[in-house]
Amino acid sequence: MTSATTTREATAASSETSSPWPPTSQPKIGVMLVNLGTPDGTDFWPMWRYLREFLSDPRVIELPRFIWYPILYGAVLTTRPRKSGANYAKIWNREKNESPLRTITRAQGERLAAGFAGDDRIVVDWAMRYGSPSIRSVAERLAAQGCDRILTFPLYPQYSATTTATANDKLFSALAKMRDAPAVRSVPPYYAEPVYIDALARSIEEHLKTLPFEPEIVLASYHGIPKPYSDKGDPYRSHCLETTRLLRERLGWGEEKLTTTFQSRFGAQEWLQPYTDKTVEKLARDGIRSIAVVNPGFSADCIETLEEIAVEAAEIFRHAGGQNFSHIPCLNDSPEGMAVIQAMIRRELSGWI
């Protein structure tokens, strides 16, 4: 053996034992639940920060910045934080000093983590698109825990560019700032998934059993979007209508029993119709005395369900002559709700585990 060969072998052995790179540990997979967002408090400035972030998203407000920003930083952020803060105060979780959406999303994350407790490859966390914990902070936390892959689950059953897409935008924006960015997958919309439709139907059936009255009509009220967004190709309206159709089919109800409406409009332009508040008022004036409202587009109860529906819509209905009103809770972290989340995640993890 020549001295050159000996030197090469010694160098190779040395490089194997003294590599500048540390040995890699077993990679993990992060699962990130993502919901819309929440302010950190009901006072003016926490609401101002939350609304500024939310209403500055170009997917939420598609007006040119030079037109929208003077309105946003003028009339909107001058008046709306107080009004929104007062509404949040009606439903605020005083014990934990947080919004119900944060309480419920955390609970969903904890229950999901418990379901994967026997698999040390899976790390579960949760984030908010607007507010905290931010998508970027959670993505960085998962990467720091050794996750080289992240499955993100935007908790919106029906797809819209104003919700699902903006959550994914924020994740990719966070990855763009990471040197060693994980691979990612995003759970697709699940508006027609049998497990979701069945969970909704069972939650409705169980809730109606607890009522001292039988609703003449049940409204499936979805968050609205501006009609021009839908006209430009956003599939949200068709997803909502399909959820309602499948829900009717599963419950064995006709169109006169379960009907679709849209809520939470903002600004002067036309939004998807029929509007929930106007429909509730008309039903009461037409002689309907008992109704219930379910919110199939929300995975967790929040300001739009607990205050806008359970409080405001109920007041509108009774003021117009209605008598019996009930809000059917969202799936939240119930066994039915968690069955939906777990089924979607386990399906999308296929090939990774």
- How many CB atoms sit inside 10 A of residue 71's CB? 14
> Could you write out the three-class secondary structure of 208-237?
HHCCCCCCCEEEEEEECCEHHHHHCCCCHH
pTM value is: 0.91
pLDDT digits (tens, 9 = 90+) for 18-73: 445 454 568 899 999 999 999 999 999 999 999 999 999 999 999 999 999 999 99
- In percent, how much of the chain has pLDDT > 90? 91
Determine the number of helices (DSSP H) and then strands (DSSP E) in the chain. 13, 8
Q: Is the pLDDT of residue 161 over 70?
A: yes
**What are the chain's domains?**
28-190+337-348 (3.40.50.1400), 194-328 (3.40.50.1400)
DSSP codes, 8-75: HHHHHHHHHHS-SSPPPPPPEEEEEEEEEEE-S-SSHHHHHHHHHHHHT-TTT--S-HHHHHHHIIII
Q: What is the pLDDT of residue 333?
A: 98
Q: What is the mean pLDDT of residues 260-264?
A: 98
Phi, psi angles (nearest 5°) of residue 87: -70, -40
Contact criterion met (CB below 8 Å) for 132 and 141: no
Q: Is the pLDDT of residue 286 over 50?
A: yes
Dig out the tokens for 229 from the structure: 């967004």
pLDDT digits (tens, 9 = 90+) for 84-106: 999 999 999 999 999 999 999 99
